[in-house]
Amino acid sequence: MHLFIMKRIFIPATLLVVPFAVAIAADDTPSAPAKPKRDPAELFKAIDRDGDGFLSFEEYKASTIGQIDPSRVESVFKKKDANGDGKLTLSEFMFVPPREPAKPAGADVKKEKKKTDAPKQ
């Protein structure tokens, strides 16, 4: 009879404890390490190949390969270049210009067509 009572207590206790143990073990699984954020000043120095303290367009363009659409690199550079001197300081480099909304395909063609279809007087 003593064995019967132990089974009656042990089985429900096990059913209560095991799910919590599994949940706790799942929380302790190591996740992939977070990618460390680079200090913008260090990144700036790494991109500044000639060490003059500024980023030329060529230096900036080389640093954006695979990160910015190549057709947008020049316009992004110009937006960052606040004083228009053709080179970026650290503070200009850190500026993130707002993204332009994407133009629908053929939007420029429609405008051109309307201009050419206008009646001449």
Residue ranges and CATH numbers for the domains of the chain are 40-94 (1.10.238.10)
Tell me how many helices (H) and strands (E) the chain has: 6, 2
pLDDT at residue 107 above 60?
A: no
Tens digits of residue pLDDT in 6-32: 556 655 555 555 555 555 555 555 566
The predicted-structure confidence for 34-85, as pLDDT tens digits, reads as follows 667 778 899 999 999 999 999 999 999 999 888 889 999 999 999 999 999 9
**Token pair recorded at residue 34:** 């977070």
Give the global pTM: 0.53
Query: Under 8 Å CB-to-CB from 60, ≥6 apart: which residues?
Result: 47, 73, 77, 88, 93
State pLDDT tens for residues 87-103. Answer: 999 999 999 888 767 66
